[in-house]
Structure 1
């Protein structure tokens, strides 16, 4: 009976692959059908518009242009109708195929579930295998949750960095003007933007600390290279050793902008690594949930 279960499971797996390709084909045919329908409706409206004209129709008929125009529009409408019929047939055929596969999957899934319940009671080997799979599911769910929390923390860091960089960009622009003018008003605006940037940075520091904590909770051996994490920490440390220093010169503003840009790129890289790992783990979990 265990052999039967494995046979059904493999068949189920093949059906899922067929469903994926069938769904892609259905979606493509649906798009083409909707596009063809829109073209046909437009051509139909153009013909009806020409046929509904009164005085203009009469005058154009007299000078011999209306009949030609109407003929051309009707020819375009015929082409659009033929394309609509073709795309409609493909759309309906792919929809029926997808429905058939989905129905077959549902039936096979019910058969697998029934057989699984019997094997739980009658087959000790299957029971042991099922227990291992359940433990794997729990571990995968835990890993996915940890990565999700790290991703959320990382997204907050990226938002904080973006906001801070926007303030520094404004201060940098004002600092450029300050190099060519001796304006108290420009100085006042510049330092106001710098003050806003510093407030953002204090908040950002807390976000980064939370991010580092969440990354520690992730299984780094499977998700993140220790060397890369250490490199990121060095960027943090160097950055925060000097970020709150003298802001009076344009050079200082630009140097700290460069530090933030470096940090942004590094966080983006880590986020992509985490997201890729999450996708892999989710796929593994879905397979376990489907089969066991």
Structure 2
């Protein structure tokens, strides 16, 4: 009877933990979606303004004609186009972020209506009532110890699951970071050739092709890191005072892309800067992955210890 009682408690507790985690994640994702949508609207307004400035400067006016004659029109147009391009890059990234979060919210809503969760609270209440009756009839020191072992086993298994999920997300983040860095390496080499050796039209075209394709890879890395951060938060939620993972504020991974893609020197500088930041984040992720591996080993060792303690009581 007691083994069945402990098995039921373990199964129900794991379900409750999973249901609570999904609920917490859904609320967090909905909040982040609301914030991201507002930011996208702000950037869309900024982009519209910058595009309007370019169009306005391109229209005929006596003032524009005067700027053209004095040589200031070209400088002003170059500045306006650069600002519009920067605003477009920021808006495109914001749109991708909103799309990602919309998909995440939809997936979490689907997960939250799992049939296993429908009557979970009722099942838990019924179990607690049965357990109370059983304890009143069978209470003993050994039973109290066995119950504590069962509770600890649920806690440790939950931690192991969270750590494994976080580690898997970290490995994906490492892969996407490696891909983004490789692409930036290519763009950096072409930029250096174009800037300092006069690579010509073909090299310029190849350089901007690498720059454009690296934009998507940087976004994929951002998305993977946000997911990694969520998984690490779950690890911290499941942690105890003796079992912590500190993220060390490594996830400030935003706005790495280029302010001005029209100047060779600026592009080369920003590519180098962006690659340096990506390498720094990559090292932080690998450090955190090593921490997770150590925590996983500790948790698995604790499970073995609990099993040994339980066996000792049952065979005594």
Using the size of structure 1 for normalisation, the TM-score is 0.53
Runs (5+) with no aligned partner, structure 2: 1-136, 311-316
Contact 2:163 2:292 in 1 (8 A): yes
Q: Is the 8 A contact 1:157 1:211 kept in 2?
A: yes
Equivalences, count: 165
Once the two structures are TM-superposed, the CA of residue 244 in structure 1 deviates from its matched residue by: 4.3
Helix, strand or coil for the counterpart of 1:241? coil
Q: Which has the larger share of helix?
A: 1
- Please name the residue that 2:9 is paired with: none
One of 144, 147, 152 as aligned partner of 1:131: 147
- Superposition pairs of residues 68-107 of structure 1, within 5 angstroms: none
* Partner residue of 1:265 out of 283, 287, 302: 283
Give distance in 1, aligned partners of 2:199 and 2:141: 85
- Post-superposition Cα deviations, 1:121-161, rounded to whole Å, max 9, x if no partner, equal 99922121111101100100001111111111111111100
Whether the 8 Å contact between 2:257 and 2:274 is mirrored in structure 1 is yes
Task: Tell whether the 8 Å contact from 1:223 to 1:273 is kept in structure 2 after alignment.
Answer: no
Report what 2:174 is aligned to.
158
Distance 1:286 1:142 in 2: 15
State the secondary structure of the residue aligned to 1:223.
coil
Secondary structure at the counterpart of residue 306 of structure 2: helix
Instruction: Quote the residue 2:191 is aligned against.
Output: 175
RMSD: 2.0
Listed one character per residue, the Cα deviations across residues 69-95 of structure 1 (whole Å, up to 9, x for unaligned) are xxxxxxxxxxxxxxxxxxxxxxxxxxx
CA radius of gyration, larger in: 1
Deviates more, 1:241-250 or 1:148-157: 241-250
- Correspondence for 1:245 among 259, 267, 276: 259
1:195 corresponds to: 212
* Contact residue 243 and residue 256 of structure 1 kept, 8 A: yes
Please state how far the C-alpha of 1:165 moved relative to its aligned partner. 0.3
SS at structure 1 position matched to 2:147: helix
- Taking the aligned partners of 2:188 and 2:138, their CA distance within structure 1 comes to 74
Q: Structure 1: which 5+ residue stretches go unaligned?
A: 1-120
Residues in 1 aligned to 2:221 and 2:227: alpha-carbon distance in whole angstroms: 10
